[in-house]
């Protein structure tokens, strides 16, 4: 009997995983809509979430014709992408030093609003943020879990979206909280499809995703097809976000051209809450989070 139950359990898990994959694949047509999670599932690219994932997605997603006047910058972005991809490789090289992720630093206070999580710094095993809540903003998400943020950052997101709206930009929440279990499932699915070595190299390990802090939201707009793409940064809404996110406590966590520092490609959509004063300092200094906290080697 026990055996039967465990077999049934396995079947359920397999069905869920394959449903996710199917979901991802059926979205290829609307890849622009893809959120980072589908990316992760789809391509095994890196990580933390979005990152290189989206960069890669961008390669396939941003049709040249739709961005003809951006083609130059797209080219640039493609270069960035290569850089990001390389970054992935570099990271694995680096991981020869820090090697397996067991060597990563576990952050002291995962509940701190200014906690820094990256490829070298992870959340404690099984960490779940307190006070998760759903901000009262418009969403375009595939999974309910992704709507959550910690209360303080959720309030700040509401204020950001309100200000954006007043400026004529209708932001939409795409992907917020991601539990360690979700990240683990993404990682496991990657291992299943690409092998462990590949997954280790390109997929975010549970505990290393900024989304697990509950302090992050990926945003887009209907006019950007709800896409998490570099092109969002060139839209009026994306530019407004870049100029004003800090006023509401958010930082564009992975700025352009800083992948060698942050470990991730340019992500104009990935907003990380640090609180207004820190976010403003980071913005005004033009630094990455890693530089601001002196975490650059």
Shortest Cβ distance from residue 211 to Zn ion (Å)?
Answer: 6
Closest chain position to Zn ion (CB): 270
DSSP letter string over 7-68?
Answer: HHHHHHHHHHHHHHHHHHHHGGGGGGG--HHHHHHHH----SSSHHHHHHHHHHHS-TGGGG
Q: Do residues 247 and 276 make contact, with C-beta atoms less than 8 angstroms apart? A: yes
Residue with smaller CB distance to Zn ion, 83 or 218: 218
Q: In the bound complex, what is the minimum distance in angstroms from residue 232's beta carbon to Zn ion?
A: 12
Residues binding Zn ion (CB under 5 A) = 49-50, 218, 270
State the minimum distance, in angstroms, from the CB of residue 36 to Zn ion. Answer: 5
**40 or 50, CB closer to Zn ion?**
50
Q: How many CB atoms lie within 10 A of CB 4?
A: 8
Spatial separation of the C-alpha atoms in residues 177 and 144, rounded to whole Å: 10
Instruction: Sort strands 267-273 and 216-221 into parallel, antiparallel or unpaired.
Output: antiparallel
Exposure string for 196-228, b = 16+ CB within 10 A, e = fewer: eeebbbbbbbbbbbbbbbbbbbbbbbeebbbbb
What is the closest distance, in whole angstroms, from the C-beta atom of residue 228 to Zn ion in the complex? 7
- Considering beta carbons, is residue 178 or 246 the nearer one to Zn ion? 178
Of the pair 246, 253, the CB lying nearest Zn ion is at 253
* Structure tokens given for 143: 């999974």
Cβ proximity to Zn ion: between 41 and 49 the closer is 49
Strand, coil or helix: what is 217? strand
Output the smallest distance, CB 269 to Zn ion, in A: 7
Min CB(90)–Zn ion separation in Å? 21
> Which CB sits closer to Zn ion, 150 or 270?
270
Element (H, E) at 98: helix 71-98
């Amino acid at each position: 009997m026990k055996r039967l139950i465990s077999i049934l359990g396995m079947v359920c898990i397999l069905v869920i995983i394959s449903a996710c994959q199917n979901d991802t694949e059926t979205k290829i047509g609307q890849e622009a809509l893809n959120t980072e999670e589908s990316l992760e599932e789809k391509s095994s690219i890196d990580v933390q979430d979005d990152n290189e994932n989206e960069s890669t997605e961008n390669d396939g997603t941003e049709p040249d014709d739709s961005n003809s006047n951006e083609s130059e910058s797209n080219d640039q972005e493609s270069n960035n992408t290569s850089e990001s991809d390389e970054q992935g490789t570099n990271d694995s090289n680096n991981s020869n030093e820090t090697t397996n992720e067991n060597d990563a630093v576990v952050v002291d206070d995962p509940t701190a609003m200014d906690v820094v999580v990256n490829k070298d710094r992870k959340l404690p095993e099984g960490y779940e943020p307190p006070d998760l809540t759903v901000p009262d903003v418009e969403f375009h998400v595939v999974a309910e879990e992704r709507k959550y943020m910690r209360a303080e950052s959720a309030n700040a997101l509401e204020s950001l979206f309100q200000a954006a709206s007043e400026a004529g930009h209708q932001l939409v929440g795409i992907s917020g909280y991601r539990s360690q279990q979700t990240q683990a499932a993404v990682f496991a699915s990657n291992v299943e499809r690409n092998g462990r070595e590949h997954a280790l190299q390109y997929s975010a390990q549970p505990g290393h995703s900024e989304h697990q802090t509950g302090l992050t939201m990926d945003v887009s707009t209907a006019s950007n097809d709800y896409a998490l793409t570099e092109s969002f940064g060139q839209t009026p809404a994306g530019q407004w976000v870049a100029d004003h996110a800090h006023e509401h406590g958010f930082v564009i966590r992975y700025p352009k051209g800083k992948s060698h520092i942050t470990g991730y490609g340019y992500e104009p959509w990935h907003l990380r809450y640090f609180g207004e004063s820190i976010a403003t300092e980071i913005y005004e200094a033009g630094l990455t989070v890693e530089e601001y906290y002196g975490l650059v080697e």
